């Protein structure tokens, strides 16, 4: 593991709203083109939503329309939508690059649109690997620096060899900077062949208000049952590991679980599998599938423990920080960034991934003696407040964008 450059090392002069540091000779803050491949909002888009708040008047280029479009418009961004879409959202991220061949015509058209949009801006900011893959060369052709906000772990669990190599090589060739949310994501980028000096670590940041009501009052309002209750709060996808929680529940006879989230990117078969699994293990009456919700922080405050069961390395995991801010004990799998966020286990319990027995044992212990982890949960909240706030993230990203623009 090697240390990555923190954002504040880039420039002392940047401000959150980008107003003090300008491109040499321009006297104005840079015009940024934020590129998103999707209009659906999962963690990376929620990060971008908060990141663009200081940049009203900038442009957002989306490959497809969706709820995210209105959110960005509401934040004062000018919206540009790809004219013909790409079909990329249906392409699994670990698919062979050859699977994109039939889309070449549309992708070429998109590259031209991106080049035109990039020319009207000072900096291009790609918020996903698909956005970077498509925008990197157009941005370089029109001479604009491109920043890649890499929200993924470029390892064999998530991507095929060809994908990893292509992405790392393209970054080395085209990216002015690569932003990662965790050391785990930085390590994977380097191991895939990415140049270490390109990387800046900007941990995700978020702000949440705590509901002053007790968990009992919240449960009554939300219609949730009394008694031991745990929660999982992630989109439904095989690597998010909700099935492991259902398996663990079969070993915890009195415990109920809320499963919050939906299959956002076509994982409907997995969603159906979860229900079948709950029935097969005889726990269907103890698992409540609540679907996609807009009140995750409140739901978190209502449960006795939040489980973060990802079976593959998690690039960051906003839900971990949300649980810490909610003041609820966390049990997370030790894969990817969880250990960094939970301070090696001092701010939450770490269990090995894919092991329902170990997960069940950790939950049983925690639910039996809630007082035993009260101090740890307070520490977790303090840690989240001091390290993972939205203002710090916005400041770090503004520093970085201004730095890249100033050097261009
Ligand atoms: N989330 C939500 N509603 C849901 C399920 C999840 O708003 O029903 C939010 C959750 O609170 C978190 C984000 O979606 O902020 C997921 O981000 P995370 O980084 O944990 O994972 P991702 O899904 O992006 O891999
Ligand atoms: C991705 C990752 C998740 C991370 C989010 C924001 O969706 O899967 O771990 O928290 O991006 O960076």
Q: pLDDT averaged over the chain?
A: 91
CA distances from 91 to 224, 240, 322 (A): 37, 19, 30
Q: If DSSP codes are grouped into helix, strand and coil, which group holds residue 78?
A: strand
For residue 108, the model assigns a pLDDT of 86
Counting ligands in written order, the one closest to the CA of 231 is 1
Least confident of 81-85, 388-392, 393-397: 81-85
Q: How many CA atoms lie within 13 A of 378 on its CB side?
A: 5
Q: Cα–Cα distance between 246 and 356 in angstroms, integer?
A: 8
For ligand 1, atom 16, which residue shows the shortest CA distance? 43
Please list, in sequence order, all residues whose beta carbon lies within 8 angstroms of the beta carbon of residue 279, skipping any fewer than 6 positions away.
none
For residue 101, the model assigns a pLDDT of 63
Q: Measured in angstroms, how far is the CA atom of residue 43 from the centroid of ligand 1? A: 5
Least confident of 14-18, 51-55, 124-128, 386-390: 14-18
Ligand 1 touching residue 316 (CB < 6 A): yes
Tell me the domains of the chain and their CATH numbers: 5-206+389-407 (3.40.50.2000), 215-387 (3.40.50.2000)
pLDDT at residue 372 is higher than 80: yes
Confidence of residue 13 (pLDDT cuts 50, 70, 90): very low
Pocket of ligand 2 (CB under 6 A): 42-44, 47, 151, 181, 204, 314-318
- Which atom number of ligand 1 is nearest to the Cα of residue 264? 23
Q: Which percentage of the chain shows pLDDT scores above 90?
A: 85
Q: Which percentage of the chain shows pLDDT scores above 70?
A: 88
pLDDT at residue 158 is higher than 60: yes
- Which atom number of ligand 1 is nearest to the Cα of residue 43? 24
Ligand 1 touching residue 205 (CB < 6 A): no
Q: Measured in angstroms, how far is the CA atom of residue 258 from the centroid of ligand 2? A: 21
Burial of 12 (0-12, 13-18, 19+ CB in 10 A): exposed
- Full-prediction pTM beyond 0.85? yes
pLDDT at residue 404 is higher than 70: yes
Residue located via tokens 């995700």:
204
319-364 pLDDT, tens digit per residue, is 999 999 999 999 999 999 999 999 999 999 999 999 999 999 999 9
Helix (H), strand (E) at residue 108 = helix 104-119
Burial of 197 (0-12, 13-18, 19+ CB in 10 A): exposed
DSSP assigned state of 54: T
DSSP assigned state of 210: P
Q: 331 - beta bridge partners?
A: 307, 349
CA distances from 49 to 41, 180, 358 (A): 9, 17, 36
For residue 12, the model assigns a pLDDT of 36
Average pLDDT over residues 180-188: 98
Counting ligands in written order, the one closest to the CA of 340 is 2
Q: Measured in angstroms, how far is the CA atom of residue 310 from the centroid of ligand 1? A: 13
Ligand 1 touching residue 319 (CB < 6 A): yes
Q: What is the CA radius of gyration of the chain?
A: 21
234-273 pLDDT, tens digit per residue, is 999 999 999 999 999 999 999 999 999 999 999 999 999 9
Q: Cα–Cα distance between 50 and 208 in angstroms, integer?
A: 12
Q: Cα–Cα distance between 287 and 154 in angstroms, integer?
A: 33
Of 235, 240, 260, 293, best ligand 1 pocket probe by most atoms within 8 Å of the beta carbon:
235
Q: Measured in angstroms, how far is the CA atom of residue 105 from the centroid of ligand 1? A: 33
Counting ligands in written order, the one closest to the CA of 295 is 1
For residue 84, the model assigns a pLDDT of 73
Counting ligands in written order, the one closest to the CA of 337 is 2
pLDDT at residue 15 is higher than 90: no
pLDDT at residue 1 is higher than 50: no
For residue 132, the model assigns a pLDDT of 97
Backbone angles phi, psi at 231, to 5 degrees: -140, 145
How many CB atoms are closer than 10 A to CB 375? Answer: 9
Q: Measured in angstroms, how far is the CA atom of residue 181 from the centroid of ligand 2? A: 8
Counting ligands in written order, the one closest to the CA of 184 is 2
Helix 242-249 vs helix 356-368: crossing angle, to nearest 10: 60
Confidence of residue 14 (pLDDT cuts 50, 70, 90): very low
pLDDT at residue 23 is higher than 90: no
Q: Cα–Cα distance between 65 and 45 in angstroms, integer?
A: 13
Of 37, 44, 338, best ligand 2 pocket probe by most atoms within 8 Å of the beta carbon:
44
Are 290 and 135 within 8 A, CB to CB? no
112-147 pLDDT, tens digit per residue, is 999 999 999 999 999 999 999 999 999 999 999 999
Of 204, 293, 319, best ligand 1 pocket probe by most atoms within 8 Å of the beta carbon:
319
Question: Among 127, 295, 290, 292, which residue's Cα sits nearest to residue 208?
Answer: 295
Confidence of residue 93 (pLDDT cuts 50, 70, 90): low
Confidence of residue 83 (pLDDT cuts 50, 70, 90): confident
The token duo for 293 is: 């919700």
Are 406 and 21 within 8 A, CB to CB? yes
Pairing state between β 123-126 and 78-81:
unpaired
For residue 408, the model assigns a pLDDT of 84
Question: Among 33, 32, 337, 373, which residue's Cα sits nearest to residue 185?
Answer: 337
Confidence of residue 391 (pLDDT cuts 50, 70, 90): very high
Query: Quick one: CA dihedral 99, 104, 106, 108, positive or negative?
Result: positive
């Amino acid at each position: 593991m090697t240390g990555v450059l923190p954002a504040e090392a880039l420039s002392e002069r940047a401000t959150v709203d980008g107003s003090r540091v300008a491109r040499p000779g321009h006297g104005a803050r840079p015009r940024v083109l934020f590129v998103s491949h999707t209009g659906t909002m999962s963690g990376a888009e929620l990060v971008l939503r908060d990141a663009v708040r200081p940049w009203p008047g900038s442009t957002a280029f989306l490959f497809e329309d969706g709820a995210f479009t209105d959110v960005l418009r509401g934040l004062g961004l000018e919206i540009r939508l790809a004219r013909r879409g790409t079909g990329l959202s249906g392409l699994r991220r670990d698919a062979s690059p050859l699977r994109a061949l039939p889309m070449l015509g549309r992708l070429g058209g998109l590259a031209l649109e991106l080049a035109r949009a990039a020319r009207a801006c000072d900096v291009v900011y790609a918020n996903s690997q698909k956005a970077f893959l498509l925008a990197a060369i157009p941005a370089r052709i029109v001479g604009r620096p491109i920043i890649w906000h890499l929200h993924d772990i470029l390892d064999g669990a998530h991507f095929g060899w060809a994908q990893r190599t292509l992405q790392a090589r393209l970054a080395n060739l085209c990216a002015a900077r690569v932003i990662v949310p965790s050391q785990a994501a930085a390590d994977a980028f380097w191991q895939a062949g990415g140049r270490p000096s390109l990387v800046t670590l900007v941990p995700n940041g978020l702000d949440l208000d705590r509901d002053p009501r007790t968990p009992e009052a919240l449960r009554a309002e939300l219609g949730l049952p009394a008694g031991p209750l745990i929660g999982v709060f992630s989109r439904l996808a095989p690597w998010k590991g909700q099935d492991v929680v259902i398996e663990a529940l079969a070993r915890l006879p009195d415990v109920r679980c809320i499963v919050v989230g939906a299959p956002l990117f076509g994982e409907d078969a997995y969603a159906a599998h979860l229900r079948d699994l709950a029935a097969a293990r005889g726990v269907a009456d103890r698992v409540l599938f609540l679907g996609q919700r807009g009140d995750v922080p409140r739901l978190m405050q209502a449960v006795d423990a939040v489980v973060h069961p990802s079976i593959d390395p998690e690039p960051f995991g906003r839900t971990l920080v949300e649980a810490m801010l909610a003041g609820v004990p966390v049990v997370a799998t030790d894969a990817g960034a969880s250990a960094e966020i939970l301070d090696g286990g001092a701010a939450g319990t770490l269990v090995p991934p894919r092991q329902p027995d170990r997960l069940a044992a950790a939950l049983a212990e925690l639910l039996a003696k809630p007082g035993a982890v009260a101090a740890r949960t307070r520490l977790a909240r303090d840690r989240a407040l001091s390290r993972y706030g939205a203002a710090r993230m916005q400041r770090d990203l503004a520093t970085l964008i201004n730095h890249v623009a100033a050097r261009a």
